[in-house]
Amino acid sequence: MNKVTVLGSLNVDTILRFKRFPKAGETLPLTGKSIAGGGKGANQAIAAARAGAQTTFIGKVGHDQEGDFMVKQLTDSGVDDQYVAHSDQAATGSAFILLDSSSENRILIDGGTNQQVTAADVDAAQPAIVASTFLIAQFETPLAATEHGFKLAKAAGTATILNPAPATTAVPASLLALTDLIAPNETETETLTGVHITDERSMIKAATNLQQQGVANVIITVGSHGAFWIRGTEHGFVPAYKVNAVDTTAAGDTFIGALSSVLQSDFSNLATAVRFANRASSLAVQQLGAQPSIPTKAEIQAAERA
């Protein structure tokens, strides 16, 4: 069983549904509204745990009902919450997900306590990092804390996975040098490399660029099309499963978490792990809400057999 530690964000998601996005100055009625657990870090941790990994979370919430709610989302899925700190300085993070009838989403985030995660918080969780197969991080918590965590991981022989989302051009070269696997989507890939993703040739060019920046293993996810992977000089493309998508909010996070639950620490089974992650993601997009949609290992395996 893989041991996975996730350093990242916890957000309470407010999902607003409507037929289409309003034009400037236009008012439209909602067709629905709901609340669910979210945050890229929490989503990925829950996905890893539900897919069978022993999972620990490093993050921060406020002393509020939202913080209690988010911790419960973790523990209900079997995620160890002992390194989730509480702060009096800000409220628990929140996100507002705008979802139209075609399942296209746009997301607005208030980082809250996610922006208060520090190197000291990471140091407190060093025992979990040292004991893990993988340390996963994203960009919804401070880069300084992530880089510090990756340094601890590398010193301990723990492999590192970076999901560079939300997209940013301000990624330190020193962080990429500590990253064993990077997994951006096509938009994030273009931000990091300047390469516009249109076909496999452009994926190879972008992935090679990332390798030249110091990351040996790369996955580029391209939504409903699938995922490209490269490991050393080997590469391939794994098509996505065709399903009727309802809400794509947690698709990428489910992919990362599920991937980490089956991936070998030397990345030797990268193609197989990507197929498993694609299957998990295909199940997540068929339900509404981020964390409520994340499948279990049994559900993923059942879909594989179907």
pLDDT at 290 over 90: no
Token pair for residue 149? Answer: 């965590």
Q: What is the pLDDT of residues 88-102, one digit of tens each?
A: 999 999 999 898 998
Backbone angles phi, psi at 110, to 5 degrees: -110, 110
Catalytic residue at 253?
Answer: yes
Q: Is 140 annotated as a binding residue?
A: yes
pLDDT at 145 over 90: yes
Across the range 13-34, mean pLDDT stands at 94
- pLDDT attached to residue 207: 97
Q: Is 173 annotated as a binding residue?
A: no
Q: Is 77 annotated as a binding residue?
A: no
CB–CB of 1/133 below 8 Å? no
CA pseudo-torsion sign 109, 260, 191, 196: negative
pLDDT confidence band for 181 (50 / 70 / 90): very high
> Going from the N-terminus, what domains does the chain have, and what CATH number goes with each?
3-21+33-305 (3.40.1190.20)
- pLDDT attached to residue 189: 97
Work out the angle at residue 99's Cα, subtended by the Cα atoms of residues 96 and 104, and round it to the nearest 5 degrees: 125
Percent of the chain clearing pLDDT 90 (strictly above) = 89
In this structure, what DSSP letter does residue 225 have? G
Backbone angles phi, psi at 226, to 5 degrees: 135, -145
Q: Is 177 annotated as a binding residue?
A: no
Q: Which residues contact 175 (CB under 8 A, 6 or more apart)?
A: 143, 146, 147, 150, 162
Q: Is 12 annotated as a binding residue?
A: yes
- pLDDT attached to residue 93: 98
pLDDT confidence band for 289 (50 / 70 / 90): confident
Catalytic residue among 64, 81, 180, 253: 253
pLDDT at 306 over 80: no
In this structure, what DSSP letter does residue 185 have? B
Q: What is the pLDDT of residues 99-131, one digit of tens each?
A: 899 888 888 999 999 999 999 999 999 999 999
At residue 240, the 3 state secondary structure works out as coil
